[in-house]
Amino acid sequence: MKPLTPTAPHVIIMVGIPGAGKTHFAEQFAKTFSAPFIDINKIQALSGFSDKRAAELSSYLLGELLKTKQTIVFEGPTHLRTYRDALTRKVRAHGYEPMIVWVQTETATALSRASKGQPDAVKQQHEMRLTKFSPPHIREGGVVISGRHTYGTQVKVVLKRLAGERKPTAVQESPSSSPNPRRGRSIRIS
């Protein structure tokens, strides 16, 4: 599929509890639309950096990618509202529109996914992260997708929001003009 090219570039900010399905959606979205994807967990795993150093590196990489004016997918310490607020200010300062994508999944399902084949310490770490999770506030203007739905269903919700941000008035699209990522068409939002 061709790159996603909205009128103003976006930073898709992934939010959710560990195991919700953020990374799966972000990887698929980035692949579908040829968008760069910054994943703090991947940075940590590859580098062995601490949480703080991985966050610093992801922030640096984001700063460099913001120069491209291309839509970017970002997964970092976005479980904290203060971090999301700072991130939103940073991307807006570079001419980007932030878009919070909150992947919601039941706690038990998320725990099962996050701790599959892992020791009990992972379960304890998951519970600790749950206590620090700050759900998006309505003023953040995010979109909520279910971590239990298929990628096809999830991406339709996100694309509908992206398209809705670009329309000056509510315009109903005919089925033939609706974007369908599975058909390999380019999606232009104007």
> Residue 122 — pLDDT band, cuts 50, 70, 90?
low
- Rounded-to-integer distance, Cα 40 and Cα 51, Å: 8
| C-alpha distance from residue 45 to each of 17, 42, 123 (Å) | 19, 5, 18
Secondary structure class of 121 (helix, strand, coil): helix
Read off the pTM.
Answer: 0.79
CATH numbers and ranges of domains, the chain? 5-189 (3.40.50.300)
**Residue 188 CB coordination number (10 Å):** 14
Q: Write the pLDDT tens digit of every residue in 51-93.
A: 889 989 999 999 999 999 999 999 998 999 999 999 999 999 9
Q: Write the pLDDT tens digit of every residue in 175-185.
A: 333 333 333 33
Secondary structure class of 170 (helix, strand, coil): coil
